[in-house]
Structure 1
Amino acid sequence: MQIISILLFSLTLLVIPGCNQGNVIPWKMDTSQVPSSVSHNTLSEGTSLEGLELSGVTAQEAQTMIKDWEGDKLAQNILLVYNEKEVSVTLKELGLALDFNTVWEKLWTKPGQRIESVLKLDPIQAHQILQEKLADLNRSAVDASYTIDNDQFVIIPAVPGQVVQIDAILDKLRNQSFATLPKQVEIPVADVAALKTTEQLQTLAFNGIVGEYTTQFNVKDKNRSANLVAAAKKLDKTLLMPGATLSFNETIGPRTAETGYKDAYIIINNEYVRGIGGGICQVSSTLYSAAVLANLPIVERYPHAVVISYIPLGQDATVNYPNLDFKFKNDTSSLLYIRTEVKNGMMTVRIYGKKTGKTVRFEQKIEKETDFQTIMRVDSSLPPGKVVQDQAGYKGYIVQTYRIVKDASGMESKLLLSRDEYAPTHKILRVGAD
C-alpha cells in the first residue's frame, strides 16, 4: 500500500499547475497551490537530508525546512589557499545552490532513507567572483630585455607570468553535496611564458669585436674633419638585427649644409674639387673594411674613380646620397653593434658580434698599372714662370681584392670581393704666363 501511495502522490505532483520540464515541485511554492493531498502527506519515518531530520514532516513543512537549511549551508565559507594567501568565499557567492528538484524527488522515491544533497553550480557567477577575489594572484609575464653597458651585452632575464586556473577550482566544486564539498581548496596556478625569453636573447647576444679597421686623416683640414666626425657620430652605436641590411646612406642621412655638413674636397671627373660632405667616404670606406674583416656579406659597394690615400686599393667604398650607397647584411644569429671612434687623426670602426674563431684578412692582386699625366694650366694671376701644384699625380690601377678566411682548424678559403679599376689622377700644375 505504501508503494501505491507514493506512485499516486508522484502522479498528483506532475499535474500541479506551474510544473515544467518534469520538475516534481517548484522550489518557491505558495501554500495555496499545493493540493491538500500532497501538502498533508508526510515523509516516512527515518527520512533525512544529510543532517536534516524530516521524519513525519509534511511536504509543505519539508519545503520550508529545506529552504532554511540550504540558506544556512550556502552562508558557509570555502577557504581558497595559495602559499600564505587565504581567501574566504561563501558558497552562495560561488554560485552554488541546492538542486531542489532532484533532492525532492529522492526524498519521496526513497522513503525512510538518509538522502545526500545534490548541488548545482552557476559557472558564470563562479568565474566572475573568483576572478575578482583572486585577481592579485594573476601576473603578466615580463619579456627578457637587454641593455648595452660599456659595450657589453647585458641580459635582463624574463620573468614568467602566473594565472589562476579557475576551471580547475570549479572542477573541485562540481558534482558535490554539502557533505562532500571541500572546506579548503588549494588555488592552482599555471605559469605564463614570456614572449621573448632569456634563451632567445642569449642567442642574440654579442660577445666581442668581430671586425675592426682604422684609417688616418689630416686634422688640419677642418671642414673635412668636421664632416668625418659628424658622419661617424651618426654611425656610432648602430644596432643591426640578424637578417637585416645596413644602408650607409639611410643611417647617415642627406649631406647638406642644412644637416650640418661643410665644404671639403670631393672627387668629380677624377679631380679633387670643393663640395659638400667631403670626408664622409672615409667613414664608409673604414666601415666597409671592418665589415669585410667581420666576414659579413657585402650587398652594395662602389670603388672611387681614382686612388685614395687613406686606405689600400680595393678597400674603399664611395658613397653619394642618394645614388651610390654602401650596404652589408647581418647574416649571423646575433645582434651586430657598431662603434666609431675619432681622435688624434685616427678614425676607427669596430663591429661587435658573436665570435666564431675565424680570422679574416684582405689580399690584393694588381693586374695593371697606368701612369699619370702632367697637365699644365696657364694662370695669368701668377707671376711669369711661377709653378703651383694643384693636384698630385697618382697611377691608375686594376686590382683584384680577396677575402681570406681561416677557420679554427687553420683551413683557409678565398673569395674574390671585387675587381676595381682606378683611373690615374693626373698631376695638375698652374703656370704663370710669360
Structure 2
Amino acid sequence: MYSVQTVTSKNTNILFFLIIIMLFSSVSMIAANTAFMVTNEIYRGVSVGDIHVGGLSVDQAQQKINTVFKERTEKGPVIIAKYKEQQWTISAQDIDLVIQADDLAECAFKVGRTGNIINRLQERYLAIHQGYSLPITVQYNRDKLQSILATIAKSINQEPKNARLKPINHVKIEVVPEVIGRKVDLPQTLVEVTSNLNTKLAFTFLIAVEEIMPPVIARDLEHIDGLIASYTTQFDSWDYNRTQNVLLASKSIDGALVRVGEVFSFNNIVGLRLAKFGYKEAPAYIDGMLVPDWGGGVCQVSSTLYNAVLLADLSIEERTPHYRPPGYVPIGQDATVADNLLDFKFKNTLAQNIYIISEVFGNQLVVNIYGKRMEDPPEIYVVSADRRVLEPTTLIKQDPSLDIGKEIVEVEGQKGFIVSTYRIKKVEGKVIKQEFLASDEFRPIDKVVRIGTKAPPQEPKK
C-alpha cells in the first residue's frame, strides 16, 4: 500500500513540472512572435537563394538583390558547362537573364506573415533556427538557352564508328580502332540548367552525355590475320543505273563482321532496294522476262559474295538461282535476291570471326573475305557437273494479217540448262571432300514464229 502511494506521488510531480515547462515555452514563443509581429523588417534567417536578406527592409532587400545580381552577372559568365576537358560559357546577356528583385523582396517579407497561425509560427521558427531560403526566380529567354545548348550538343555529339580492317597489301592488314559515339541528353541538360537557375545566380555544371559503343570493336577483329577467300566479277560500267545499284549494294556489305556461328542475311544487311535509298531502275529478270526493275544489278553483288563464301568454306543456308543464268558468273554459281521474297544467307562455321570487304574498281566488283588463316589450308574449287542442254520448242502462230509465205520471229528461243554444282576440297592434290551444292534448272524459252495466212488479192477478170 505504501509503495503504490509513493509511485503515484512521483508521477504527479513529474506531470506538474512538465506543465510548468510547457507554460514557459508557450509564453516565450508568444513573446517572441509578438516581437516579430511589430517589426517592419524581413525576419532573420530568411534568404533569397544564397542572398541573405534577414533583418532588412523590403527596399533594402530589393537593393541588395539587385546589387548581388549585377555583380555576379556582369563580372563573368552565369553558366559554365563542362564536358571532360572542354567548357563553354553562357552570359546573362546571351539568354536575356533578368531578376525581379522587387517581387523577391516582397516574398521574403511575407515569410512568417501569411497563412494560418500554424503556418506563420512554423515559418518563423524555421527562419530563426534553421534558415528559410526562397528560390531565386529569374526570367530568361528559354528559346535562346535551348539554342545555345543545342549548339554545344552538336559540337559534342559524335556518331559511333565500327572498328575496321584496312588492308596494307595482299599479305598485311591493319585494324583501325572503333570510335565511341557520344550523344548529349538535351532534356536532362536543360533540366539541370533550369534547376540551378532557381537556386544560384552563377554556377558550373557537367553536361549529361551518353557514350554509345559501336557494334564492332577492335577486339572482334583481333584474331583476323589475312585473306582467306576472294572473288571478282565484271559489269558494264557504262550502264549508269545498274552501276549505281551495284555500288550501293557493295557498300552495304563492305565492312560486315560475321561472328562465329552467326547467319549472315543479305537482305537484312543491304535493306530494301527502293528509290528513296538511291536505287535506280535497271534490267532484271521477272517471270523470265528481262524488264526494268528497282535495284536491277544487286544480284551481281549477292552472286559475287556467294562465290567468295564458297571459297571460304562457309555453310550455305539459303540460296536461289536466277530464272535465267546471268553472264557474270559460271552457270550454276549465281544467287538471286528479291525484297521480302528471296534471300541469300550463309553461316560462319569457322572457329573465328570473318570480315567482308567489298569494293568496286572500274568495271570490277571484288568481294574479299578475311579471317584466321590456316597453316595448310585445303584448295577449294567450285565445279559444275552433269550439265545438260534443254533445247527450246518452236511454236508456230498463224497470222492472217501476213501474206502467205511470210514469217516473222516474234520471240527468239533460248536454250535451257540443268546443271549440278559441287564444292571440291583438295589437300596436296588429293580430293578429301566433294560436297553437293545444288541442282539448278534453267528452263528454255520457246521460239515463237508468226506465219502469214493472208491470201493474195485476186486479179479482176477481163
TM-score of the superposed pair, with normalisation by structure 2 = 0.47
TM-score of the superposed pair, with normalisation by structure 1 = 0.50
Structure with the higher helix share, 1 or 2: 2
